[in-house]
Amino acid sequence: MKEKLQIIWQMFLLLLLGFVSVAGIAFPVVAKPLSWYEFPLIPGLGENVKIIFFHVPTAWLTVVAFLVSTIYSVKYLREKNPDDDAKAYAAMQIGVIFCILATVTGAVWSKFAWGQYWSWDPRQTSIFALLLIYGALFALRSSIESEDKRAALSAVYSVIAFLTVPFFIFIMPRIMKGLHPGSADDTNKGPILDFKMNSNMLLIFFLSLAGFTLLFYWMWRISYKSIILKDKINKQIN
């Protein structure tokens, strides 16, 4: 019964992500959308707007993975349960994949939208800082032999690193000029912030967000279970 349920929701996820990918890429952008499958034309973005269905979920999952990792780090520090460390580590591993994806898709998009791959926009700075934090966490973990020490120190570091995130969200956009859609001084701030995307675009955007989040959850579960199992087998052998 449990396996059947699992297959059903895996099929559901496949269909959801398949629909989102096809719809996000293939639906046309027109000036005055009439049919349900047409996206509105947003001035300054044009066809480039379609990246929202793939880039925004990856960036969102980068932050979600970091949040999950921090929550389980705090839980580890309170209860000292090695499984929580495995969960935090698994979230980190998947988070760094999405972080790289968000950085690369964003850079490629910015080549077409802004003319260059990298321009130290506040969002680019923050995703770069997140990449550095993930990198630092892996560097820290690989340099400690003892399991308890490794779990405790990486938990402490991820909590401290998480505390810098508000500065990137609230302070950086004020200090640096923003090009990213949705920035404070951005001319095409309207469409993204005010959700002037029409209803079908919003629907596909949120479906994509939900689909990717489910995918993350699935990957994370497999990942931490495999880490816990690996530890168990290692202990049995030794």
If binding is defined by CB under 8 A, does position 41 make contact with other proteins? no
The answer to whether the beta carbons of residues 153 and 102 sit under 8 Å apart is no
Residue of 45, 71, 97, 156 interacting with other proteins (CB under 8 A): 156
- Dihedral pair phi/psi, residue 14, rounded to 5°: -60, -45
Residue listed under structure tokens 């898709």: 105
Binding pattern for the stretch 57-76 against other proteins, x by CB under 8 A and - elsewhere: --------------------
Least Cα distance to 48 among 110, 132, 124 occurs for 110
Give residues with Cβ within 8 angstroms of 99, minimum separation 6: 62, 127, 130, 131, 134
If binding is defined by CB under 8 A, does position 160 make contact with other proteins? yes
> To the nearest whole angstrom, how small is the minimum distance from the Cβ of residue 164 to other proteins?
5
Residue of 1, 145, 237, 238 interacting with other proteins (CB under 8 A): 145
If binding is defined by CB under 8 A, does position 119 make contact with other proteins? no
The pair of three-digit structure tokens given for residue 169, joined into one six-digit string: 């969200």
Contact footprint for other proteins (CB under 8 A): 77, 125, 129, 132-133, 135-136, 139-140, 143-145, 149, 152-153, 155-157, 159-161, 163-164, 167-168, 171-172, 174-176
